[in-house]
Amino acid sequence: MKEAAIRLDLDEILEKAAGGVKLDRQEVVFLLSRTEEKDTEKIFSRARETRNHYFDDKIFLYGFVYFSTYCRNDCTFCFYRRSNAVSARYRKTHEEILETAEKLTASGVHLLDLTMGEDPFYFNEGHFEDLLEITRAVKERSGLPVMISPGVVPREILEEFSKVGVDWYACYQETHNRDLYAKMRLNQDYDERLNLKYYAHELGMLSEEGLLAGIGETTEDLAHSFEVMDELSADQVRVMSFVPQEGTPLEKLQILPRLREMLVIALMRLLFPDRLIPASLDVDGIAGLKQRLNSGANVITSIIPPDQGLMGVSQSTLDIREGGRTVNGTIPILNELGLKPASAGDYANWVRERKKLYLPVL
């Protein structure tokens, strides 16, 4: 270990990354293990330069529509796990979803993310048709690119989603350490979940992969996760710090400093310079936006209209009613950092160009 510390040089590694040379696992672990501010600031600053090189000062904005909080699964980290009696459950009607989508669109978001728990109403009671119908309507009326985050749906349903014009399939492993995965996503097949993202690409859709920070992963696990993300050629890559949830098995888990998440964002930027990387408002609300953008993120996610009775995931209520998680709420922070919202056209172009990598087989 001592020898490694002597041989590895921060400036050299950052130079290498900036020059587009792939970092090896040891170098990634070294960067992820930095704790001194003078070192971490060098990493963040390089990540910002890289983002600005690829995306200029333009930031993409995602509207978040968590339209059903029912779930058949029991993920240990999640507030909405089936056996949690304290979480608020709702399933929005088509009209409510369309109204929310309209409000978000009018407020200036660039994409709508339709998210749900693995709601038994859709999964077990044969209402997938409803889901496709509402997705089609949202896509048509908003004219915006659409992401779906429905959990692990049957392959035929993913095919149907691609046919109604869904642009993105988001589904996160959280970790690529299979043992840790099995402890987090109880009774959920690792490969089935991962393979569905490959299948999304085969269908011509883009895919998002994501990690949780602070659930017991090691820095080696994270370096391995980056390799899996690379192999998948995930078009958007994310990390969110684990937020302990009332009524769940991990309620009392000791949390890590936010530095872990920020370094993962920065590493993602250095390793996947041209990809989309979220700064989620769902972890620390609007107060946490600046540090995530300063770590190299180029997308703001979890923008939620204040008056629709909608919830967040890891922060179910933080800043929502107050209107903090809105496009307007983000503008002063963007201004302060010399950044600005992209145009809808900029975002649609990015999606169109990126999709050229995946020619649909169906």
Query: Which spans of this chain sit near ligand MD0 (rule: CB under 6 A)?
Result: 64, 113, 115, 149, 170, 278, 280, 282, 301-302, 312-313
Binding-site partner at residue 81 among ligand SF4, ligand MD0, ligand SAM, none, CB < 5 to 8 Å by type: ligand SF4
How near is the Cβ of 68 to ligand SF4 at its closest, in Å? 9
Q: How far is CA 329 from the centre of its chain?
A: 20
Stretch that binds ligand SF4, among 74-82, 87-95, 238-246, 338-346 (CB under 6 A): 74-82
Question: Residue holding tokens 């909080």?
Answer: 69
Of 172, 171, 188, the C-alpha closest to 82 is 188
Give the C-alpha separation, 165 to 148, whole Å: 11
CA 72 – CA 82 distance, rounded (Å): 5
Angle at CA 227, nearest 5°, toward 226 and 229?
65
Name which of ligand SF4, ligand SAM, ligand MD0, none residue 112 binds, using a CB cut-off of 5 to 8 Å depending on partner kind.
Answer: none
Q: How many CB atoms lie within 10 A of CB 247?
A: 12
- 302 makes contact, choosing from ligand SF4, ligand SAM, ligand MD0, none, with CB < 5 to 8 Å by partner type, with ligand MD0
SS3 252: coil
Q: What are the backbone angles phi and psi of residue 225, rounded to the nearest 5°?
A: -55, -40
Q: Six-digit token pair at 205? A: 């859709």
- Which residues have CB under 8 Å from 116's CB, separation 6+? 66, 67, 68, 69, 70, 122, 149, 150, 151
Tell me how far, at minimum, the Cβ of 76 lies from ligand SF4, in Å: 9
- Site size with ligand SF4, rule: CB under 6 A: 9
The verdict on 315 binding ligand SF4 (CB under 6 A) reads: no
- Per the CB < 8 A criterion, the answer to whether 206 and 166 are in contact is no
CA 48 to chain centre: 19
Choose from ligand SAM, ligand MD0, ligand SF4, none: what does 242 bind? Cβ within 5-8 Å by kind: ligand SAM
**226, 268 contact by CB (below 8 A):** yes
* Smaller CB separation from ligand SF4, 25 or 82: 82
Sign of the alpha-carbon torsion through 239, 306, 145, 194:
positive
Residue nearest to ligand MD0 (CB): 301
Name the binder of 280 from ligand SF4, ligand MD0, ligand SAM, none, CB < 5-8 A by kind.
Answer: ligand MD0
Picked from ligand SAM, ligand SF4, ligand MD0, none, the partner binding residue 243 (CB below 5 to 8 A depending on kind) is ligand SAM
Between 84 and 294, name the residue whose CB sits nearer to ligand SF4: 84
**Angle (CA) 65 213 40, round 5°:** 115
Cα Rg of the chain (Å, integer):
19
Using CB under 6 A as the binding rule, whether residue 80 contacts ligand SF4 is answered as yes
Is position 75 an interface residue for ligand SF4 (rule: CB under 6 A)? yes
Task: Return the number of the residue (117 or 278) whose C-beta is nearest ligand SF4.
Answer: 117
Cβ contacts of 282 within 8 Å, gap of 6 or more:
64, 240, 301, 302, 312, 313, 314, 315
Q: Which residue type sits at 238?
A: R
* Residue pointed to by tokens 């009671």: 125
**Of residues 61 and 250, the one with the C-beta less far from ligand SAM:** 250
Q: How far is the CB of 115 from ligand SAM (least distance, A)?
A: 5
Least distance from ligand SF4 to the Cβ atom of residue 15, Å: 39
- 81 is a contact residue toward ligand SF4 (CB under 6 A): yes
64 interacts with, out of ligand SF4, ligand SAM, ligand MD0, none, CB within 5 to 8 A per kind: ligand MD0
> Does 78 sit near ligand SF4 (CB under 6 A)?
yes
SS3 279: strand
Q: Which does 273 bind (CB under 5 to 8 A by kind): ligand SAM, ligand MD0, ligand SF4, none?
A: none
Residue 63 beta carbon to ligand SF4: minimum distance, rounded to whole angstroms: 19
Identified binder of ligand SF4 from the candidate list 10, 43, 117, 171, rule CB under 6 A: 117
Sites of contact with ligand SF4 (CB under 6 A): 71, 73, 75, 78, 80-81, 117-118, 151
